Chain A
C-alpha cells in the first residue's frame, strides 16, 4: 500500500464535490430559463456518486461521479399569455429547480469539500514529519 494513497482518496472526493458544486451553479443559473415547449425545457442536473478504488493497488475506495443524471420532475407550467415565448395556449415552462434544495446541496458540498481539504492538510503534515524524522 502506497503511503500516498490517502491523497488519491481525498483528491477524488475534492473532484467529486466540485462537480456537485458545478451542477448546483448550473441549476441555479438556469432556474429562469423558460421556454414555450415542455420537452425542451432545461432539466436540473444531479450528480450520482459511487465508491470506487481510485488508484492501483489501493483497496480503500475513493469516490467518483458515475454520471450527471437529469432530474425527471415535470417542468413548472405558468400562465403568462403576454410572454414572448408563450405557447398558443398562453403557457410558459420553467425548469423544476428548487432554490432551497440547491442551496442545501451547495452547503453540503462545501462542507464535504472542506473536510477533505482538512484530511489532505493533516496527511501532508504527518507525511512530512515522518520523512523528517527518518532523514535527520
Chain B
C-alpha cells in the first residue's frame, strides 16, 4: 500500500513536469543565442575605435545545433605530445565564437567595420524579434488551451 502511494506520487510528479518542461521548445534556446549574438555585436561596435581589437561573431547555426544536442558532443583537440592539455569543449560550452574577416585591413589592427557591424546588428535584432513572435504565439496557444477556448 505504502509503495503504491509512493509510485503514484512519483507518477504525478512526472506528469506535472512533462508538458511544462519544454514549454518553448528550441525557441527558448534560440532566443538566448540571438541575445548572445546581439551582445557580441554590441561589444564589437563599442570597440570600433580600439586599436588591435578583433571583431567576433557567433556562428548561430552551429551554436544552436550544439545547444540542441544534434551535433557531436563537442570538439576535441588532437593531443600530439604528452604535455598537451585535454582541451575537450563540452556540449554545454558557450556559443561558438568566430572571428570576423575584415573587408579592408586597418593600420591599427582593428577589424571592426562599422557598416558591417550595423548590418549584422540589424539582422540579429530582426531574428530575435522573429523568434520572439514565435514564442508569443506559443504563449497565446497555451493561454487559449488553459482558458478552454474562451
The chain A residues found within 8 Å of chain B, CB to CB, are: 1, 3, 5-6, 9-10, 12-13, 16-17, 20, 49-51, 59-63, 108-109, 111-112, 115-116, 118-119, 122-123, 126, 129-130, 133-134, 136
A56 CB → nearest B CB, Å: 15
Which of B46, B121, B129, B132 has its CB near the most chain A CB atoms (within 10 A)?
B46
Q: Bound complex: CA of A104 vs CA of B53, how far in Å?
A: 21
A129–B47 CB distance below 8 A: no
B contacts with A, residue count (CB < 8 A): 30
Contact A51 B42, CB 8 Å, known A1-B36, A133-B132? no
Can you list the 9 inter-chain pairs with the closest CB atoms, starting with the nearest? A13-B46, A60-B43, A49-B50, A6-B42, A119-B42, A51-B50, A133-B136, A51-B47, A9-B46
Q: Are B135 and A126 in contact (CB under 8 A)?
A: no
- Alpha-carbon separation in the docked complex, A120 to B118 (Å): 12
Instruction: Return the contact of A119 from the options B50, B121, B128 (Cβ within 8 A).
Output: B121
Task: Kindly list chain A residues whose C-beta atoms are within 8 Å of the C-beta of B51.
Answer: 49
List of A residues within 8 angstroms of B128 by Cβ: 126
Residues A123 and B38 in contact, CB atoms below 8 Å apart: yes
Complex Cα gap A133–B128 (Å): 13
Interchain nearest-CB distance for B96 vs A (Å): 14
Bound-complex Cα distance A126 to B129 (A): 7
B129 smallest CB distance to A (angstroms):
7
9 pairs, A vs B, C-beta closer than 8 Å: A10-B42, A13-B45, A13-B46, A49-B50, A50-B50, A118-B121, A119-B121, A122-B125, A126-B38
Contact A112 B49 (CB under 8 A): yes
Interface of A is mostly: helix
Contacts beyond the supplied A61-B43, A119-B45, A126-B125: 9 A-B pairs with Cβ under 8 Å: A10-B42, A13-B46, A16-B49, A20-B49, A51-B53, A61-B47, A115-B45, A126-B128, A129-B129
Instruction: Assess whether B42 is in contact with A123, with CB atoms less than 8 Å apart.
Output: yes
Which residue of B35, B40, B46 contacts A3 across the interface (Cβ within 8 Å)?
B35
Q: Which residues from chain A contact B94 at a C-beta distance below 8 Å?
A: 59
Cross-chain contact A63 with B47 (CB below 8 angstroms):
yes
Give CA–CA (A123, B125) in the complex, Å.
Answer: 8
**A112 and B139 contact, CB distance less than 8 A:** no
